[in-house]
Amino acid sequence: METRLFIIGLAMGAFAWLSRQWSRSGAVDTPLKAGLWHGFFCALSAFSTVWIVMMSWDSRSRFIAVAAQAVSTTELYPSLAAGAIFGVIGFWKGYGRGRELSGRRYFLNEDLEWADTVFSAVLLAAVLMYFVVQAFKIPSGSMRDTLREGDHLFVNKFIYGLRVPLAGRRVLSLRPVRRKDIVVFRFPVDDLHALHCGSIQYGKDFIKRVIGLPGDTIQVSNGRLFVNGQEQIDEPYALYADGRAREAEAVNAKLMTPQQYQQRWQEHSLDTALEISPPYSGPRDYFGPVTVPSHSYFVMGDNRDRSCDSRYWGPVEERFLKGRAWFLYWPPSRMKAVE
């Protein structure tokens, strides 16, 4: 969302700058030019509006937060259609009133004012969402009962440091990632078509709890979690929906050497190698041991028996991390700091 707002803000800023230059020079001096320029503004405005609305609708209908790197056809086609329709309407109005100098000046000044307003507001919102805080909606039950489906919360995006755009690193960190932090991250794959946990996860935002830090050894045996060889007993947030009903260890997992298992897991292909599909058998109750690589984290959902997490698709590299869950603000009856 923040990247798209940033793009829209830059586009409106460029439009405002050009409008200001052409207003001074009188370059828009014919009805055709007035119609084309006003039509372009209407098309850009309609495209941007529908793009944001459709992205929000698409996200909610699939119960995910769509990352800025993925543009679905359900967003793109309606946005282009709206841009084309309103562009034609804008051209017709601009052309009709562009026969007179006062009409051409009216559209230039009016469009310039709106473009300046949108540029300032949208760019500020994008900067705040990218570097400071962002709203997030819980998409599934994997974090029950700590967080429930439909909960709305704020994500602190500066506590682990400010993200350097396109660089994949952070600066000015307030504190490092700690075990038991609840974090929001973009699903850690770069392959747009990779299947994990039964579907394509590329571009989705996930929320999980940090279990393992770089260098930690993680293992799950008979549903019990071990970190660096120590069973994790003090986990009041952990929910085991199936109680004592545990699954058998996957046979194909035993056919791998420890080195092959580690490599598959680290390359985000363990679930593929184990031929895992819903309801996510295998690593749920018997996983590892693996060592968390440097600049990476092992994450799990609090609802351990209903969570698609690092047991299946591997570590979360630091570059995918977005921030720490901070404050649950909706519904009001559950308003609280997230821990």
CATH number for the domain including 165?
2.10.109.10
| DSSP assignment letter at 293 | P
In this prediction, residue 58 carries a pLDDT of 41
Three-class DSSP category at 15? helix
Does 164 lie in the same domain as 59? no
Name the domain boundary from 114, 131, 148.
Answer: 131
What is the mean predicted confidence (pLDDT) over 36-43?
79
Q: What's the CA dihedral at 54, 118, 3, 172 to 10 degrees? A: -140
Does 145 lie in the same domain as 246? yes
Does 164 lie in the same domain as 215? yes
Chain mean pLDDT for the chain: 80
Structure tokens at 208: 């999980």
In this prediction, residue 130 carries a pLDDT of 66
Does 97 lie in the same domain as 156? no
Structure tokens at 248: 């058998």
Q: Is the pLDDT of residue 65 over 70?
A: no
Does 153 lie in the same domain as 261? yes
Taking only the tens place, the pLDDT of each residue in 18-28 is 888 877 777 77
AA identity, residue 74: T
Q: What kind and span of H or E run contains 220?
A: strand 217-221
In this prediction, residue 315 carries a pLDDT of 97
Among 119-123, 154-158, 198-202, the range of highest mean pLDDT: 154-158
pLDDT band at 279 (very low <50, low <70, confident <90, very high): low
CB atoms within 10 A of CB 194: 16
Q: Is the pLDDT of residue 218 over 50?
A: yes
In this prediction, residue 67 carries a pLDDT of 34
In this prediction, residue 64 carries a pLDDT of 34
In this prediction, residue 117 carries a pLDDT of 76
User: Strand runs (DSSP E) across 34-141, as ranges?
Assistant: 133-137
**Residue of higher predicted confidence among 64 and 123:** 123
pLDDT band at 76 (very low <50, low <70, confident <90, very high): low
Full-model pTM: 0.69
Does 250 lie in the same domain as 214? yes
Q: Is the pLDDT of residue 230 over 60?
A: yes
Does 333 lie in the same domain as 282? yes
pLDDT band at 59 (very low <50, low <70, confident <90, very high): very low
Does 273 lie in the same domain as 174? yes
**Residue of higher predicted confidence among 274 and 69:** 274
In this prediction, residue 99 carries a pLDDT of 63
Does 64 lie in the same domain as 180? no
CB within 8 A of 317, min separation 6: which ones?
188, 295, 296
Count of all residues that appear for the chain in the document: 339
Which of 67-81, 170-184, 282-296 has the weakest average pLDDT?
67-81
What is the mean predicted confidence (pLDDT) over 323-330?
90
pLDDT band at 269 (very low <50, low <70, confident <90, very high): confident
Structure tokens at 189: 């794959």
Q: What's the CA dihedral at 244, 307, 180, 156 to 10 degrees? A: -160
Name the domain boundary from 108, 131, 154.
Answer: 131
Residue 322 φ/ψ, nearest 5 degrees: -105, -40
| DSSP assignment letter at 202 | T
Does 319 lie in the same domain as 241? yes
Domain encompassing residue 185: 134-337
Q: Is the pLDDT of residue 151 over 70?
A: yes
Q: Is the pLDDT of residue 63 over 80?
A: no
On the 0-12 / 13-18 / 19+ scale of CB atoms within 10 A, 172 is: exposed
**Count of domains for the chain:** 2
Active site residues: 142, 208
Does 276 lie in the same domain as 211? yes
pLDDT band at 70 (very low <50, low <70, confident <90, very high): very low
Does 141 lie in the same domain as 98? no
What is the mean predicted confidence (pLDDT) over 151-166?
82
DSSP letters, 229-285, are TEE----TT-B-TTTT--PPPPHHHHTS-HHHHHHHHHTT-HHHHTT--TTT-STTT
Structure tokens at 338: 């997230």
Q: Is the pLDDT of residue 172 over 50?
A: yes
**Rounded CA gap, 93 and 129, in Å?**
36
Name the domain boundary from 131, 163, 186.
Answer: 131
